[in-house]
Structure 1
Amino acid sequence: MSALLELREKLRNIYSKGEVYITPFSKFLLSLIAFLCINANIGYMGKLNNTMIAIVLALIGSLLPLNLTVLICGGMVCAHLYALSLECGIVGAALIILMFVFYFRFSPGDSAIVLLLPICFGLKIPYVIPIAAGLLCTPLSVVSVACGTVAYYVITYFKENSQTIATLDAENAVAKFRFVIDGVLGNKEMFVTVIAFAAMVLVVYLLRRLSIDHSWTIGMVAGIIFGVVILLVGSTGFKTDISIGGLILGMIVSFLICKVLEFFMHNVNYSRTEYVQFEDDEYYYYVKAVPKNNVKREKKKVKKITSAV
Structure 2
Amino acid sequence: MEKLLIYRERFLKFLTARGRYIQSGMRFLGGTVLFYVLGELFGYTETFSQPFFIFMMGVISVFIPISALSLIFYVVIFLELLHVSLEVTLFFALVVVLYFLVYQRVFPETRIYLMMVPIFFYFQLPACLPIFAGMFCGIAGLPAILMGTVIYYLSNILQQTMNQLASGSAHGKVYSLIAARAIDNKDLLLYFVVFCLVTALVTAIRKCGAAHGWNISILAGGVVYLICMFIGGYLVNNEINITSQIGTIIGSIAIALIIQFLYNVIDYTREETFEFEDEEYYYYVRAIPKVTVEEEEFNVTQITVPSHRFSLKRKEHKQEHKEQDKEKGEEI
TM range (shorter): 0.7 to 0.9
Give the Cα separation in 2 of the matches to 1:281 and 1:47: 66
* Counterparts in 2 of 1:98 and 1:188: CA distance versus 1, 3 Å: farther
CA apart distance, 1:249: 2.3
Give the equivalent residue in structure 1 for 2:175.
Answer: 177
1:51 to partner: Cα distance = 1.2
Match of 1:222 in 2: 220
Q: Provide the rounded CA distance (Å) in 2 between the counterparts of 1:219 and 1:226.
A: 10
Give the superposition deviation at 1:221: 2.6
Cα offset, 1:208, TM superposition: 0.6
* Cα distance in 2, alignment partners of residues 233 and 99 from structure 1: 30
C-alpha distance 77-274 of structure 1, shift in aligned 2 (>3 A): same
Residue 62 of structure 1, CA deviation: 1.9
- The 1:101/1:188 distance shift into structure 2, 3 A limit, reads farther
Distance change (3 Å), C-alpha of 1:183 and 1:94: farther
Q: 1:183-219: CA deviations, max 9, x gaps? A: 1233121121022112211211121112210111222
Distance 2:285 2:9 in 1: 28
Higher mean displacement: 196-205 or 218-227: 218-227
The Cα of 1:298 is off from its aligned counterpart by 4.4
Give the AA of the match of 1:233.
I
The 1:155/1:283 distance shift into structure 2, 3 A limit, reads same
SS at match of 1:287: strand
User: Post-superposition shift, 1:166?
Assistant: 4.3
* Structure 2: distance between partners of 1:183 and 1:97: 23
Which of 182, 187, 190 in structure 2 is aligned with 1:192?
190
Distance in 1 (alpha carbons) for counterparts of 2:166 and 2:182:
16
The aligned counterpart of 1:235 is 233
Deviates more, 1:10-19 or 1:197-206: 10-19
Change beyond 3 A, Cα 1:102–1:33: farther
| Alpha-carbon distance in structure 1 between the residues aligned to 2:298 and 2:201 | 46
How far 1:275 sits from its partner (Å)? 2.8
Q: Which residue of the partner structure matches residue 307 of structure 1?
A: none
Report the equivalent of 1:63: 63
- Secondary structure of 1:5 counterpart: helix
Give 3-state SS (helix, strand or coil) of 1:295's partner. coil
What is residue 144 of structure 2 aligned with on the other side?
144
User: Distance in 1 between the 2:64 and 2:109 partners?
Assistant: 14
The structural deviation recorded for 1:109 is 0.6
Amino acid at match of 1:4: L
Give deviations 1:7-32, integer Å, cap 9, x for gaps.
Answer: 22222222223322322321221111
Letter in 2 for 1:110: T
CA distance in 1, matches of 2:92, 2:243: 32
Query: CA–CA distance in 1 between the matches of 2:247 and 2:106?
Result: 32
Find the counterpart in structure 2 of residue 246 from structure 1: 244
Alpha-carbon offset, residue 253 of structure 1: 1.7
Distance apart, 1:295 and its partner CA: 0.9
- Look up the match of 1:20: 20
Unaligned regions of 5+ residues in structure 2, if any?
302-332
Give me the whole-angstrom Cα distance separating, in 1, the residues matched to 2:68 and 2:227: 36
**Greater Rg by CA:** 2
Distance 1:5-1:218 versus aligned 2 partners, 3 A rule: same
Cα gap change, 1:102/1:51 in structure 2, threshold over 3 Å: closer, same or farther? Answer: farther
Question: Equivalents in 2 of 1:77, 1:156: separation in Å?
Answer: 13
What runs of 5+ residues in structure 1 fail to find an aligned partner?
304-309
Partners of 1:84 and 1:226 lie apart in 2 by: 38
Secondary structure in 2 aligned to 1:285? strand
Q: 1:99 to 1:238 in 2, by over 3 A?
A: farther
CA distance in 1, matches of 2:19, 2:200: 31
- Mapped partners of 2:2, 2:29: distance in 1: 32
1:13-92 equivalences under 5 Å are: 13-92=13-92
Call closer, same or farther: CA 1:144–1:127 in 2, change over 3 Å: same
In the alignment, what sits opposite 2:285?
Answer: 287
Measured in 2, the distance between the counterparts of 1:9 and 1:105 equals 37
Q: 1:108 to 1:242 in 2, by over 3 A?
A: farther
Q: Deviations over 1:225-257 (max 9, x none)?
A: 332343333322222343233222212221121
Question: In 1, distance between residues paired with 2:274 and 2:55?
Answer: 55
Question: 2:107 is matched with which residue?
Answer: 107
Q: Secondary structure at the match of 1:277?
A: strand
- d(CA) in 1 for partners of 2:113, 2:35: 15
The alpha-carbon distance between structure 1 residues 155 and 119, as it changes in their structure 2 partners (threshold 3 A), is: same
Secondary structure of 1:43's aligned partner: coil
